[in-house]
Amino acid sequence: MTDYKRAYHILCAAASHALDVLPDTPENAAGQTIIQEALLEAEDVCIETMEADERRVER
């Protein structure tokens, strides 16, 4: 079975680290914003999915 939570964690950690080491320059600003917004959206999806899974287990 594919471990999507682990894959999500690895990918998000790498993107977050890349943002940390990327210099704050005007050339990088647009890319930083895109990645930050995608990380927040992915986090929301992960939370929603985990909450839905927990509700299913409780039934």
Name the pLDDT band for 1 (thresholds 50, 70, 90). low
What's the mean pLDDT in 20-44? 92
In terms of residue numbers, what domain contains 34? 4-58
H-only helix segments in 1-59? 4-21, 26-58
Q: What is the pLDDT of residue 52?
A: 87
Read off the tokens for 49.
């999915």
Name the pLDDT band for 2 (thresholds 50, 70, 90). low
Query: What is the total count of domains within the chain?
Result: 1
Name the pLDDT band for 29 (thresholds 50, 70, 90). very high
Is the pTM value of this prediction over 0.75? Answer: no
Name the pLDDT band for 37 (thresholds 50, 70, 90). very high
Residues 6 or more apart in contact with residue 43 via CB below 8 angstroms: 12
